[in-house]
Structure 1
């Protein structure tokens, strides 16, 4: 089974009143989608929303981080569609609002809907599972809602509300469905979305902050051996941050050789490794180790802590790039891909991914070098219109340089939406002088 992200629609989240992005064309799914635009125009919102959807599907709690993305006045909505190639299209829609409970901001989920249609002409979406919080109902495609007892429903709803988590994707609902032999249709779409979330890799600006603070480089991996599987973030410590279990040591032994194969091609002459500095017996009775990571150049070791943020970011992204290049099910979403990376190298990396990746890469960036290596259909531009946040440029010919065309559109317009609110240099100068005046 190969599953691709088909589209995303965002309503009333941060500075996006409405925005939609499609990750396919008439020729097929795009393996690369870059999102460009001025500061504060909704680029990062796409990454934030994908991260939120991933955590909802995985049954995690939505903390205050996400309530900060919305306001009290509007009801927010997100819809994503994925496609099981040559089989079906799945849709997940969630409606929610911001509420204040006992002085704390939180998210109240108003409704969730899972729908599916066959990947054929003239097919319509059929609702498979629908949860309506205010009406206190949940409906299934093949099951009567009365087959789940009122007490069971009440408990499931209460857990969802208390945890600010998905009702549909909570583990307790799946356990209840497993008791019904006729719930195969419902279990199938739940499993397909779970697979989608497990294959979705997110790199946010928070990860960049961990690197800048010299705390750790977070590396996202999927690692499996015998009866052990790990899917998530592995910390690459950049200082003495405590002790790590044998499990992490085994993971390092497995992933570092793979990462070094790519690293020394991206940054010539450098590889990374680690030394175990100390071992102790942990509370669980298992050995724990304090490790120090280093980079090697020309046979000499240097603490990884003192490498540039750009090098450490590349290390954090290595496994993303390896996975998405080789696995058609992997989807990688990266905020500010260009931050800290030399622009010519950035162009080389994006070009290689664009021409050969089996999975899907979605990224935001400001560096215009990438526009010179990507075809026009692989770039989305954010606009100044909150009600139509994302567009693709029109009128671009095959002979046009997309970078030059974009800059010209910024200056003289010509697109369906305005792309940039021009700033008058003299106004900026006056503001600088005014801000610098001391109060009498």
Structure 2
């Protein structure tokens, strides 16, 4: 049922399956590196007018959507905006636009966070050369005692990525170069796409540190002297003159967009937001749990952002005749997956680890019991336009990049998916029909 998580309900474009029924080095059942190769082929197939389009890349088996596409796009620009302000300040500028050159730092690509460096090898740059200050205090997830669940989410997870097409091309090309240069077939994790991507990021962060040092000290420092002293086998990045080391990579540390499961179960809860703020639009929940083992816990509040309230209400409006109350009241009763530490109602959930967890999670998603009606309403509205949002986001109108085949109708059975850049259409019957009862019905005992 994993391939039938119906993201179209939430305003996302029709998905593109990269690597469907491919063979050899493009077969993901043979090697995880097929993910990098297939996405690179897809990105290369896009025309030059797509360079500023946003592309969302997710693992196909274990990522579940929760919030609408317009909210995710708004979150993206908010997160990279804050990150770029911090980068500019670190380099003594008012804006990253003042930082020029091929290796000028900025953030345009967001990866999901992880609480441990995987594959674990502290000699890799992707493990040791990364930022320590992530604007979350040490101990926020529990005592700083080395337990995985208490770690800060400081590392990169490659299962969820969002960024502009042009920069994503450069990132995936750099990852393929990293694979070519360092691939060792006898290495235990030679097959891990995350290993290579995180090292591209780690090297980026290392050279940012070197460049920042040079900005203030203006000396001919040996990069080895900047690296923290580690194992004799510690990999210290090297670069040739003119080599690109900046790929605009950042991590969604606070899980505004991407929530990774491993090590976070104790701080994740599906909350309802029954309390109204004075303006009558915003909603909030009171939290009294103490999952992080604070010595003197106090109740606190988590707010459901007004743009989330508005977006969910807009999705529910076309099926209001089927609801037992108005949209606003329904929204206040929905139970939404929330990170109790960062206080973010996350956009996507990445279920690393045990996968049967997803079969229960599907029935906890806020839209599941309305799924068929919402899907039919979405299909009907898509006849009129292909917009993602009625409002400007980052000063632009956002529309879906991939729609339906021209001959499709408004039946739920017209939903499907595209295959790579090949133009092949996978139908509902091929993907989802065997699971239709589970998708739209009550949980089967």
Q: Give the TM-score normalised by structure 2.
A: 0.33
Which has the larger strand fraction?
1
Q: With the length of structure 1 as denominator, give the TM-score of the two structures.
A: 0.33
* Larger RCO, structure (CA 8 Å, separation 6 or more): 2
